[in-house]
Structure 1
Amino acid sequence: MVDAHDVPDPEPGRTTERVPAAGTVVTDGLGRLLLVLRGTEPEKGRWSVPGGSVEPGETFARAAARETLEETGLVVEIGRELWTVEIPAGDGRVYEVRDFAATVIVGVPRAGDDAEDVRWFAPDELDEVPLARGLRDHLARAGVIPA
């Protein structure tokens, strides 16, 4: 993930297409974090929070809940917005991603949609897996994991 101030200016004469996207930072009562192993770009092969593109007419929060259900099989309650980042796709598109705190209402985690795997991680396990770029820093700044 790239912070908004790190998004490069487009090439002269090139228009940047902004793509709205949303995700969830799902935690449980044991302090674990739910992550999905991305099966597609961007960040294919890296663990990230569930999320994806916002559909026309959909709010960021509604998109976050829908994408979490599609990728993990879990129905979640959306909480407060934790952060917004802009991620350049390298092809003229920039994803505006808003990630929300969330808690599970019902369901058992199962990988779906474009997720190769889904699992709960204790904070100390995050050093053992490849995370999406910048995710650890965002989680620490939001107080989800120790800094």
Structure 2
Amino acid sequence: MRTADSPARPVLGTIAVVCRHFGGQDHVILVQRGKEPKAGWWGFPGGHVEMGETAMQAAARELMEETGVAATPLEYLTNVDVISRDATEAVQRQYLLTVVLCEHQGGEPVPADDAEQAEWVPVAEIESRGLQLLDQVGEVARLAQARWRALSR
């Protein structure tokens, strides 16, 4: 069962994963969501792909809007399926998120748009910091880290 304001099909979204090495560790930018769904949860900057833009363009735009960080999209890493269900297991919303690896160009994360907080988080500490993480954040961060290291050689 769908709600009146939910689409009849999955929605395309994108997330930007920016890796950077400093302080002896690899870091990624995470944001704490300031709005529903999942207000208060931590994940990668991202959002809807707008008509006429690619998911890679949308990732860079959403990153800038949510954090003020400029980055160049490098490549698609994977996809993440997000399916929200109600208490009866009926699908309420469904998103297909493209994961885009981005190269940091400038700026430090400052929360804006619908982000409550934004910061560089060491990949090795993502799951031990006590943050309420969205699905697959740790897994995606490690995938991005491995690919970013391979590209940086």
- If the length of structure 1 is used for normalisation, what is the TM-score? 0.80
Pick the aligned partner of 1:68 from 46, 57, 63. Answer: 63
How many Å apart are 1:143 and its aligned residue?
5.2
Q: Is the 8 A contact 1:87 1:95 kept in 2?
A: yes
Of residues 121, 134, 140, the one that matches 1:132 is 134
Partner of 2:48: 53
For residues 82-120 of structure 1, give each alpha carbon's deviation from its aligned partner in whole angstroms, at most 9, with x where no partner exists: 111221233543111001111221222210000001001
CA distance in 2, matches of 1:21, 1:89: 15
Asked if 1:18 corresponds to 2:19, the answer is: no
Superposition TM-score, scaled by structure 2 size: 0.77
Conserved? CA contact 1:42–1:89, under 8 Å: no
Q: 1:1-147 residue pairs with structure 2 within 5 A?
A: 16-30=8-22, 31-90=26-85, 92-126=92-126, 127-128=128-129, 129-140=131-142, 142=143, 144=145
SS in 2 for 1:62: helix
Residue 111 of structure 1 aligns with an amino acid whose one-letter code is P
- Counterpart for residue 149 of structure 2: none
Q: CA contact under 8 A between 1:22 and 1:64: conserved in structure 2?
A: yes
Counterpart in the other structure of 1:3? none
5+ residue gaps, structure 2, are 86-90, 147-153
1:65 Cα deviation from its structure 2 partner: 0.5
SS at structure 1 position matched to 2:77? strand
Q: Is the 8 A contact 1:16 1:94 kept in 2?
A: no
Q: Report the Cα distance in structure 2 between the residues aligned to 1:112 and 1:143, rounded to whole angstroms.
A: 24
Q: Percent identity?
A: 31
Number of equivalenced pairs: 132
Give unmatched runs, 5+ long, in structure 1. Answer: 1-9
Name the residue aligned to 1:6: none
Is contact 1:72-1:111 (8 Å) kept? Answer: yes
Aligned AA (2:119): R
CA change 1:77–1:125 in 2 (3 A) is same
Letter in 2 for 1:86: D
